[in-house]
Amino acid sequence: MNRRTSRWGRIRPVPATALLVAVAAAALVAARLPGPTDPGPAPAAPALAGATLDGGRFDLAALRGQVVLVNVFASWCGPCRDELPLLAETGRQWSSRGLRVVGLNLRDGPDAVRPLLAQSRAAELTVVPDPDGARSVEWGVRGVPETFLVDRDGRIVAHRPGVVTRQWLDEHLSALLAAP
Amino acid sequence: MIRRLAVGLAAVALVAAAAVGLIRSATPAGRVDPGAAIAAGLRCPACQGESVADSRSPIAASMRQVIADQSAQGRSPAEIRRWFVARYGEEVLAEPPARGPGLLLWLVPAVALLGTGIAAARTLRARPRAGPAPGRRRRSRRPVWWLTAGGLVALVATVAVAADRLAPPVVTPRADPTAVALRLAQDLEGQQRYDAAAQMYREALRERPDDAVRLRLAFALLRAADAAGAERTARDVLDHAPRSPDGLLVLGLAQRTTHPGEAPATLRRFLAVAPTHPAAAEIRRLLDGGAKARTG
């Protein structure tokens, strides 16, 4: 009886120890993982080039040296319609200091967008249509509206999911546009 | 010697069965459309708990389009997944790589199996060194180990076979951009954005030129006050199917704006073709009202 107990005693520690080691290793790995948000350096903005709504051509790469506000919007999105006048006004206000506002028009049609731009007093806005949404996905867009601020070196320095506010725009733009 | 060979073969069979089970259960979508499988393995970033394959959101539809484009360019599923991770982070994966607590799910069963294997090997190998009396006791334990091993093989084999039957519900949602455009258009109609809905129907129509989509487009145009567009689209349908009740209905309603003189005849044809149509009663009232207005 004693012998059996001692033999079982010799067998059991093997899986038990292995399990303990596994748990400890997994706990160590888990503990060493970085937090969910590790911002790091500002990422380079993805390419954005193509025909514009008014038949022109747009290329983000050609705008190095300027600050570019890329707003992803659609005419079927209520909050996008609401923020368009503010974005257009911001573009007008800061254009002399090197700001360019560009609309990336997600899964929409020109017939719906043109009247919207006219109603929003944003007719002069550069709009790059994105009928199949591939460009927006390239930018990592999660929903509309969503706004990216690209600095003079072509890096995304601020990102705003949802509607932008005047305060957010002032806060980020004044610092970027102060330095030519 | 033969016994050892048999034990070795059994062990190899066990490991092989386990490997097959693991591979088949880990890649349930191997035989279906790879684009749909990738979409099913990505989380929709605009939704909660929905995959890119399931979601009706425009961004998920766009992601499906990107998957289709990249697959057509010959990129492998792993490359496409990496492309999405670079833009949306690892949380875009429905099954993130085994790290941290997730690693336990893989490690614990593996270690448990290994431990059991070692324990079994020790028990079985200990027999020749033992004396006759305790040997009998130990021999009685051998069937238990063999039964356990047999049970494990059976379990793994069952999982390997059943994995395919369990998997389809997970992978059946197909990444179909047309279906998404249609759903989006219906949503837009619900929000009374008929112009945008018509645009979506046109997009769907480019991919799937069928009369059902044309009719939906015609109704959306009618509601968007584009009677001429609705009439044109209805006529396209009637060219293929001259007795289409919905085609006649939209045409008649559109003609009330474009060619008021022809509208009653078209609507009467509609009533003759589909007297029990849900809109029939309303159209009868409309025609009676028009007739009374003319006589009165």
Highest mean pLDDT among A16-25, B136-145, B247-256: B247-256
In this predicted structure, the answer to whether residue B140 has a pLDDT above a threshold of 50 is yes
| B58: nearest Cα among A37, A47, A104, A125 | A104
| B54: nearest Cα among B36, B72, B70, B68 | B36
- Contacts of B271 by beta carbon, 8 Å cutoff, 6+ apart: B280, B283, B284, B287
How many angstroms separate the CA of residue A134 from the nearest CA in chain B?
A: 6
- How does DSSP assign chain A, residue by residue? -HHHHHHHHHHTHHHHHHHHHHHHHHHHHHHHSPPS----SPPBPPP-EEE-TTS-EEEGGGGTTSEEEEEEE-TT-HHHHHHHHHHHHHHHHHGGGTEEEEEEEES--HHHHHHHHHHTT-TTSEEEEETTSHHHHHTT--SSSEEEEE-TTSBEEEEEES---HHHHHHHHHHHHH--
Say what the pLDDT of residue B26 is: 59
Report the largest interatomic distance among the alpha carbons of chain A, rounded to a whole angstrom.
Answer: 93
In this predicted structure, the answer to whether residue B126 has a pLDDT above a threshold of 70 is no
Angstrom CA distances, B169 to B36, B40, B49, stand at 13, 11, 16
Residue with tokens 């584009």, as numbered in its chain: B226
Say what the pLDDT of residue B174 is: 40
Q: In this predicted model, what pLDDT tens digit does every residue of B80-90 receive, in sequence order?
A: 999 999 999 98
- ipTM for this model: 0.77
Say what the pLDDT of residue A60 is: 96
Q: Is B43 helix (H, G, I), strand (E, B) or coil?
A: strand
| A103: nearest Cα among B181, A83, A134, A175 | A83
Q: Let me know: does A100 contact A126? Beta carbons within 8 Å.
A: yes
Interface membership of A47 toward B (CB under 8 Å): no
In this predicted structure, the answer to whether residue B130 has a pLDDT above a threshold of 60 is no
In this predicted structure, the answer to whether residue B70 has a pLDDT above a threshold of 90 is yes
Answer yes or no: do A26 and B119 touch at CB < 8 A: no
Answer yes or no: do B188 and A76 touch at CB < 8 A: yes
CA-to-CA distance for B246 and B216, rounded, in angstroms? 9
Q: Let me know: does B257 contact B227? Beta carbons within 8 Å.
A: yes
pTM: 0.52
Q: Which is higher by pLDDT, A41 or B66?
A: B66
CA-to-CA distance for B244 and B236, rounded, in angstroms? 11
Count of Cβ atoms closer than 10 Å to residue B140 Cβ: 9
Query: Which is it for the CA torsion B56, B62, B68, B70, positive or negative?
Result: negative
Residues B176, B179, B181: CA angle, nearest 5 degrees: 110
When computed from its CA atoms, the radius of gyration of chain B, rounded to whole angstroms, is 33
Say what the pLDDT of residue B175 is: 42
Q: Let me know: does B224 contact B189? Beta carbons within 8 Å.
A: no
* Mean pLDDT score, B30-57: 84
Residue B46 dihedral angles phi and psi, to the nearest 5°: -100, 0
| B6: nearest Cα among B184, B149, B219 | B149
CA-to-CA distance for B127 and A52, rounded, in angstroms? 82
Answer yes or no: do B188 and A18 touch at CB < 8 A: no
CB-nearest to A18 from B46, B115, B184 is B115
Q: For each of chain A's 180 residues, which pLDDT tens digit applies?
A: 455 555 555 556 666 676 777 677 667 656 655 555 455 788 899 999 999 999 999 999 999 999 999 999 999 888 999 999 999 999 999 999 999 999 999 998 888 899 999 999 999 999 999 998 999 999 999 999 999 999 999 999 999 999 999 999 999 999 889 855
In this predicted structure, the answer to whether residue B241 has a pLDDT above a threshold of 80 is yes
Report the largest interatomic distance among the alpha carbons of chain B, rounded to a whole angstrom.
Answer: 119
* Mean pLDDT score, B103-116: 74
CB-nearest to B99 from A33, A139, A142 is A33
* Mean pLDDT score, B106-129: 73
B1-60 residues touching A, CB cutoff 8 A? 45-46, 57-59
Q: In this predicted model, what pLDDT tens digit does every residue of B147-200 receive, in sequence order?
A: 877 777 777 777 666 655 554 443 333 446 677 777 778 777 776 778 888 888
